[in-house]
Copies of this chain bind each other. A is one copy, B any other.
């Protein structure tokens, strides 16, 4: 026989704790000020009273904060705590049997005088035990309450004294728990700035930001663009790589294999004799110029997001200084990126299986730290799914240990498991399949998953209707309504979204070739001169969307999303709500950019707190129109040529005759 190795008297079982990712292997995520709602199963054998305590603390603190959990029935318990500052916090659950509460529960039910008298003596002993361990003042109060039991005139009085609520409260507070069970894991929540959850991104190429007569935009030009971007309502400006661009095998316009002497090359071909990942492209300016851009942006409430692309052009300094970080072929050349038969000779990937992988990881970390030191707090990571997952988990943890308010966006358009693993590994936000979800079924299924599945604890979507690599077919052929629809969906379905401009607001829609999603004359390979002042620009439309986003807390999170029935498959209807702020929005979108569509939407009025017989106002925040609705079913018609989307704020309270003084 093997003797038991546990404390067999800790009889409470604790299991089924949520939220928990992969048995605690990965943290959950929250932003500053958000709440963690913890639920757990806790129960004991027999019928003894169970107490259940949620413990939480900042990682590194010695002392746990304690939050009593409340029983939900069916052995489920719930408790909440708010997270106050960026960084890692921990939580777990304790539970134990409360002998006094058990005794008190039974006492109240006892009816036999002798039985009560005996029970009272047991209770007095429990109180005396607690008094011995309690502070003097508490001990005095406990003794007084115990005296009330022993001094009772008869068994009924004694039972009353024993079940006294003041005594119970004191005992709950001061009786030392015995045989405390602890949940198997201490879990972690990574707390990030609010912008990790709610953010509006605008991507543009600095080199195209110059005045029309300039050959190459500069950081100073970018500074001059910022007020315009701020006026559109964006709060993150994401710049493609700003480093020196390789000259060997440089790509020409439209991704051709040979570049002319004036062709600027792709910014993702990082590194040349002029420097690598810690240098800036000389035509853009200096590091000081860049720091000034970051500061200027911050003064406008904007974060500059940098691109992290861990790959090298053939003339990147690393190739000479650290040949051990690359894969060498028998002919003495470095293995370039390839997907046979395709070759990407302008890109050398790192060899992550090299002997010197630790030094490589350390150097890559130092790249991010370098830009953190320049004031950057937001990073968009290029193709993270082609570097080891373990690298990201380690690197992001290292950066956040020093600078907890950093934000990382994962640019992985790949298979679901990989995207999820990157999110678990620490990325604050993730690109999604949004660009390819167009029909009602597609949108409903995908966004229900994003908003409701357990993965929402770690996977925060960021929706992009376009990127420099992705011009979806829907935008190529849907005209202006398609652009309006897709940006409105992104801005309302997603608490975080972004566009690649000015291509987006200028409705750039020509693909390089039929069937391709690549832009014709892509800015990746050439400098573009955008006519940003064009009268048909969607600039004002987008500004209105972003203003609606800012003003309506319902759009600051993803989890409240619910889809609602419409009897026309081309119409999409969903709502988001911020309960604490009495803010409920209903979005109705015409998914067909070519035709007027109409139908009856069915709203869950009870969830909105509206009685079926109560009229309510549907105020379209986009157009300003106000509709008076009543009942769950209401008619909607959307002409894409006018506006393909309604964003209704539902206002419960309407003025009636009762609101006038003279009515009563």
Contacts and interface: CB of A to CB of B under 8 A. Distances in A.
A24 B22 CA distance: 11
Given A11-B389, A109-B341, A179-B353, 17 more contacts: A2-B401, A4-B394, A8-B352, A8-B388, A8-B391, A13-B417, A13-B421, A23-B24, A45-B385, A45-B386, A45-B388, A46-B386, A74-B415, A75-B418, A109-B340, A112-B341, A121-B331
* Range, interface on chain A: 35 or more
B353 A11 contact: yes
Contact of A3 (B109, B339, B358, B389): B358
Nearest to A48: B353
B398 A1 contact: yes
B112 A4 contact: no
Interface of A: 1-4, 6, 8-11, 13, 15-16, 22-25, 41, 43, 45-47, 74-75, 106-107, 109-112, 115, 118, 121-122, 125, 178-179, 184, 329-331, 338-341, 343, 352-353, 357-358, 361-362, 365, 385-391, 394, 398, 401, 415-418, 421
A414 B29 CA distance: 36
Contact of A184 (B25, B111, B341, B343): B25
Give the interface centre of A343, A365, A394, A415 by most chain B CB atoms within 10 Å: A394
B340 A110 contact: yes
28 contacts: A1-B365, A2-B398, A4-B390, A4-B394, A6-B394, A8-B361, A8-B391, A11-B352, A13-B389, A15-B22, A15-B417, A15-B421, A22-B23, A25-B184, A41-B417, A43-B418, A45-B388, A46-B385, A74-B417, A106-B338, A110-B340, A111-B341, A118-B329, A118-B330, A118-B331, A121-B330, A122-B330, A178-B353
A390 B341 contact: no
A104 to B, nearest CB: 11
Contacts of A365: 1
A329 B119 CA distance: 9
A152 B358 CA distance: 40
A401 to B, nearest CB: 8
A38 B440 CA distance: 35
A43 B417 contact: yes
Contacts of A4: 358, 361, 390, 394
Contacts of A417: 13, 15-16, 41, 43, 74-75
A446 to B, nearest CB: 15
B45 A8 contact: no
B8 A357 contact: yes
Given A353-B9, A391-B8, A416-B74, A329 B45 contact: no
B15 A415 contact: no
Contacts of A1: 362, 365, 398
A122 B329 contact: yes
A2 B362 CA distance: 9
A418 B11 CA distance: 12
A43 B415 contact: yes
Nearest to A384: B45
